[in-house]
A and B are shown apart, each in its own frame.
Chain A
């Protein structure tokens, strides 16, 4: 923040200094570049005033109601509490006895739509692996809204919001997009209204392997860092140019899509999602963020976050992690099953993420495993607090916690009714609402999305 205020103060001084000078032809006032040229056209579907009673409710903010009541209507949460919460007149009442209610799960790391099913070459749109710095590409321009994976994440996983990221072949992979998990004909029709953009960055093996194998930079980790810094230096210069233009007007500088995204990060408008496995590399990326004046919202994969959980807590950086993945590449060799609870226990922000079209269907079970492993290591985190890993913390990392991620009144009614304890392998979503609209009902085959791709195919209308 400091550099921005400093720049503003300087602008005021400059203007003051100009006032007394000889009158020059007044420069043309600055024209602001449209920062939302592919705007969300998402509109919530109709819902009915609904009250769920007698369920075990996790509000996503660490609270639990054993005989809980949740009321929602007009797309928003109206009330949450115990049995004393009254049912509004005319509300549809659902008996939640023996069931659980939680905020919808938010997956902060998905490639649905940009690496869709079927995984054919013709559908493979996740990595613009033609240059290690490609901040100019936007994941939303790759997302195929007919990916059948979206429906599985909804009906089996209770996922109501997800961030689609470019892949990690590049140091700068491009912009992410945050989607409501509501089927639409266009990607704009799924875009989460008002969600900030993210920038996918990557350190470690992937960029150096992809480009090093072609004889190009980066071929080493030091190459990764040098090229990333060099790119930020360009972005700072670009930002200075545009700050001056927005201050003084005149001739509009030439736009550069890549630099525009990075300037968005330096201006605090675009959130950094940094693919990084090793503790030592995360520490370097943290220093880099200080060097250039931006904030890392979350480290993704972060299998060694447990080694520097104190640093991550101090820096206020989230870690998006798997419960138990390890060893599938060299930089994931030190994965441990207690990573998530260790990070949480240090006061840092822990998130369960999928990065996988199958894993996204059971993030609740992944959280359950991590929770149990933590307890066996002596870290007793209550279930209702652990749910923060699945909705509140990802919402925070995505900059949408004011809109969703917990069941606080006024927030979007993104709600899952589970047919049992959601931290059990035996439980599944029974009903899922997004913005108060019932998008899935286990007992109603008509409340189950079927993508265009699957129409007329074997098993089309199956339960999946």
Chain B
């Protein structure tokens, strides 16, 4: 099996596919920018980028034409917040899981070396139309988890789209526990960390050991130096909080540290302070449908959270926060569909179909300043395109063709191979192990 998958993979890598011109014609095209789907649309790809999407697109003679009649065509799904590629198996498979961070470093950690592009979780995500993902490290002994990346799910050995794009910090219940048992402690640790970063920022080369730091420091030099770009607003700061008061505490950090480029992660109670999040102009990556008071920081959880924040003017994307974040990225489109369902429930607040799709494509990209690069079918974007058997917000629909940077991807996985092996059970001349 390994041989076959690798062979398929290498074939894809070897093909000069990125230089191709591809026209996907006559599909139901949804651009991922919040607009509603267009019937009979064409998506034109050249050199790995989107040239045009919509109706009246002129198809060049050299284009390879793919007829998508009856199919839906969208940008690839973007995993809004995940641990994709960090863990092959989450429990009891020593060595296959890189999500823990209990070593001596924290903010300095870069998630990139942990990402395995051949992880089965990446293949399964790709086969379900997920083409990019925001990947965050997980906290260990510090409130800072380290630096997260944007990856693609392509069947090649170069998964990193953008390394060290954001720093991830826990300032809710999780942060309080790590900090010694209170949010107050977590906030002091946070401020102290930025103070130490500020000192290093004053040095010509923050990492260089020639300049002596103050004596009262808690962070290693690497960790403090890693926070310099956060402090200076050159790197996003993802803050996981759920409780309304925690959200306000995070928004207040902007007064103290005006350069911070904040993104709220979680924000289950965000709807109760949605106007203040909107005024602060801070984007949110939220769990779509968690509606249980699963912890005391989520007492006001409701499936209407996303819709209400959106209605208040907050830029909301959907992610997997504490929700099987290493592997079930395929659930995002089902969750997005559920948000559309809420528009028919009196008293609930949902989102339009176009906005729901945007929340799993362009909104996460915009939250990290990559809206011009990924997440929609607007001209110039990377050609991450999926042809679906039906409405992609129905879990019952499947990805039939997946392009990443204009390269058509293999959709075979460990799971599809098992499916084919065990489709028919009657005994044959040789054991099942010979069916491959």
- Contact surface of A with B, Cβ cutoff 8 Å: 117-120, 148-149, 152, 156, 205, 209, 306-307, 309-310, 324-330, 333-338, 342, 346, 357-358, 361-362, 365-366, 368-369, 371-373, 376-378, 419-420, 423-428, 442-443, 445, 453-454, 457-459, 462-464
Is B371 an interface position by the 8 A CB rule? no
Q: Do the beta carbons of A463 and B88 come within 8 Å of each other?
A: no
Q: Do the beta carbons of B425 and A310 come within 8 Å of each other?
A: yes
Known: A329-B89, A376-B398, A423-B396. A336 touches B293 (CB 8 A): no
Q: Do the beta carbons of B244 and A458 come within 8 Å of each other?
A: yes
Is B300 an interface position by the 8 A CB rule? yes
Q: Do the beta carbons of B423 and A328 come within 8 Å of each other?
A: no
Looking at the assembled complex, report how far the CB atom of A212 sits from the nearest CB atom of chain B, in whole angstroms. 11
CA distance A358 to B322 in the complex (A): 12
Provide the main secondary structure of the chain B interface.
loop
CA distance A389 to B290 in the complex (A): 25
Known: A118-B296, A372-B396, A457-B300. A326 touches B348 (CB 8 A): no
CA distance A329 to B397 in the complex (A): 27
Q: Do the beta carbons of B304 and A462 come within 8 Å of each other?
A: yes
User: Chain B: which residue is nearest A375 at the CB level?
Assistant: B396
User: Chain B: which residue is nearest A147 at the CB level?
Assistant: B292
B17-25, B334-342, B358-366: which lies at the interface: B334-342
Q: Do the beta carbons of A118 and B291 come within 8 Å of each other?
A: no
CA distance A325 to B324 in the complex (A): 10
On chain A, the residues within 8 Å of B397 by CB distance are: 372
Contact size class for B?
A: 35 or more
Contact of B292 among A334, A358, A369 (CB under 8 A): A358
User: Chain B: which residue is nearest A117 at the CB level?
Assistant: B292
Contact of B291 among A309, A377, A464 (CB under 8 A): A464
Q: Do the beta carbons of A328 and B345 come within 8 Å of each other?
A: no
Q: Do the beta carbons of A117 and B293 come within 8 Å of each other?
A: yes
On chain B, the residues within 8 Å of A310 by CB distance are: 425-426
Is B223 an interface position by the 8 A CB rule? no
Is B67 an interface position by the 8 A CB rule? no
Is B318 an interface position by the 8 A CB rule? no
Is B330 an interface position by the 8 A CB rule? yes
Q: Do the beta carbons of B415 and A118 come within 8 Å of each other?
A: no
Q: Do the beta carbons of B396 and A338 come within 8 Å of each other?
A: no
Q: Do the beta carbons of B341 and A328 come within 8 Å of each other?
A: no
Interchain residue pairs with CB less than 8 A apart (24): A152-B292, A325-B328, A326-B327, A328-B90, A329-B91, A334-B414, A342-B423, A358-B289, A361-B289, A361-B291, A362-B334, A362-B338, A368-B394, A368-B395, A369-B334, A376-B398, A419-B344, A424-B337, A424-B394, A425-B334, A459-B272, A463-B302, A463-B345, A464-B303
Q: Do the beta carbons of A459 and B425 come within 8 Å of each other?
A: no
Q: Do the beta carbons of A330 and B93 come within 8 Å of each other?
A: yes
CA distance A361 to B272 in the complex (A): 23
Q: Do the beta carbons of B272 and A369 come within 8 Å of each other?
A: no
On chain B, the residues within 8 Å of A424 by CB distance are: 337, 394, 396
Contact of A118 among B88, B269, B294, B426 (CB under 8 A): B294
User: Chain A: which residue is nearest B333 at the CB level?
Assistant: A425
CA distance A373 to B419 in the complex (A): 10
CA distance A368 to B338 in the complex (A): 14
Contact of A463 among B90, B348, B425 (CB under 8 A): B348
On chain A, the residues within 8 Å of B346 by CB distance are: 442-443, 463
Q: Do the beta carbons of A442 and B299 come within 8 Å of each other?
A: no
Q: Do the beta carbons of B337 and A425 come within 8 Å of each other?
A: yes
Q: Do the beta carbons of B398 and A372 come within 8 Å of each other?
A: yes
Contact of B337 among A329, A338, A346, A426 (CB under 8 A): A426
Q: Do the beta carbons of B338 and A329 come within 8 Å of each other?
A: no
Q: Do the beta carbons of A462 and B394 come within 8 Å of each other?
A: no
Q: Do the beta carbons of B90 and A425 come within 8 Å of each other?
A: no
CA distance A330 to B89 in the complex (A): 6
On chain B, the residues within 8 Å of A334 by CB distance are: 414, 418
Q: Do the beta carbons of A152 and B93 come within 8 Å of each other?
A: no
Q: Do the beta carbons of A425 and B292 come within 8 Å of each other?
A: no
Is B138 an interface position by the 8 A CB rule? no
On chain A, the residues within 8 Å of B340 by CB distance are: 425-426
Contact of A326 among B124, B301, B304 (CB under 8 A): B124
Contact of B396 among A307, A342, A368 (CB under 8 A): A368
Is B182 an interface position by the 8 A CB rule? no
Given A337-B415, A369-B334, 20 other A-B contacts at CB below 8 A? A117-B294, A118-B294, A118-B296, A149-B292, A209-B92, A307-B432, A326-B124, A326-B415, A328-B91, A330-B91, A338-B423, A372-B395, A372-B397, A373-B398, A428-B341, A454-B299, A458-B272, A462-B300, A463-B302, A463-B345
On chain B, the residues within 8 Å of A463 by CB distance are: 302-304, 342, 345-348
Is B121 an interface position by the 8 A CB rule? yes
CA distance A440 to B327 in the complex (A): 34
User: Chain B: which residue is nearest A445 at the CB level?
Assistant: B347
CB contact list, B315-357 vs A, under 8 A = 323-324, 327-328, 330, 334, 337-338, 340-342, 344-348
Looking at the assembled complex, report how far the CB atom of B209 sits from the nearest CB atom of chain A, in whole angstroms. 42
CA distance A309 to B419 in the complex (A): 13
CA distance A327 to B295 in the complex (A): 26
Q: Do the beta carbons of B327 and A327 come within 8 Å of each other?
A: yes
Contact of A462 among B120, B302, B418, B419 (CB under 8 A): B302
CA distance A458 to B291 in the complex (A): 12
CB contact list, B392-407 vs A, under 8 A = 393-398
Looking at the assembled complex, report how far the CB atom of A346 sits from the nearest CB atom of chain B, in whole angstroms. 7
Q: Do the beta carbons of A119 and B294 come within 8 Å of each other?
A: yes
On chain A, the residues within 8 Å of B269 by CB distance are: 458
User: Chain B: which residue is nearest A326 at the CB level?
Assistant: B415
On chain A, the residues within 8 Å of B244 by CB distance are: 458
On chain A, the residues within 8 Å of B432 by CB distance are: 307
Looking at the assembled complex, report how far the CB atom of A146 sits from the nearest CB atom of chain B, in whole angstroms. 11
CA distance A459 to B299 in the complex (A): 8
CA distance A152 to B415 in the complex (A): 32
Q: Do the beta carbons of B398 and A328 come within 8 Å of each other?
A: no
Looking at the assembled complex, report how far the CB atom of A122 sits from the nearest CB atom of chain B, in whole angstroms. 11
On chain A, the residues within 8 Å of B300 by CB distance are: 457-459, 462
CA distance A427 to B322 in the complex (A): 26
On chain A, the residues within 8 Å of B422 by CB distance are: 306-307, 336, 342
On chain B, the residues within 8 Å of A372 by CB distance are: 395-398
CA distance A117 to B297 in the complex (A): 12
Known: A463-B345, A463-B348. A333 touches B89 (CB 8 A): yes
Looking at the assembled complex, report how far the CB atom of B43 sits from the nearest CB atom of chain A, in whole angstroms. 23
CB contact list, B80-131 vs A, under 8 A = 88-93, 120-121, 124
Known: A459-B299, A462-B302. A425 touches B393 (CB 8 A): yes
Q: Which of B91, B291, B324, B341 has the most CB of A within 10 A?
A: B291
Q: Do the beta carbons of A428 and B304 come within 8 Å of each other?
A: no
Q: Do the beta carbons of A454 and B293 come within 8 Å of each other?
A: yes
CA distance A309 to B424 in the complex (A): 10
On chain B, the residues within 8 Å of A443 by CB distance are: 346
On chain A, the residues within 8 Å of B334 by CB distance are: 362, 365, 369, 425
User: Chain B: which residue is nearest A372 at the CB level?
Assistant: B396
User: Chain B: which residue is nearest A426 at the CB level?
Assistant: B341
Q: Mark B27-48, 1 if CB is under 8 A from A, else 0.
A: 0000000000000000000000
CA distance A346 to B295 in the complex (A): 42
Q: Do the beta carbons of A346 and B299 come within 8 Å of each other?
A: no
User: Chain B: which residue is nearest A366 at the CB level?
Assistant: B395
CA distance A324 to B296 in the complex (A): 30
Q: Mark B412-435, 1 if CB is under 8 A from A, else 0.
A: 001110110011011000001000
Q: Do the beta carbons of B295 and A459 come within 8 Å of each other?
A: no
CA distance A14 to B349 in the complex (A): 73
Q: Do the beta carbons of B341 and A427 come within 8 Å of each other?
A: yes
Q: Do the beta carbons of B341 and A425 come within 8 Å of each other?
A: yes
Q: Do the beta carbons of A369 and B396 come within 8 Å of each other?
A: yes
On chain B, the residues within 8 Å of A335 by CB distance are: 415
Q: Which of B272, B330, B334 has the most CB of A within 10 A?
A: B334
CA distance A357 to B91 in the complex (A): 20
On chain B, the residues within 8 Å of A377 by CB distance are: 419, 423
Contact of A336 among B91, B323, B415 (CB under 8 A): B415
Q: Mark B253-268, 1 if CB is under 8 A from A, else 0.
A: 0000000000000000
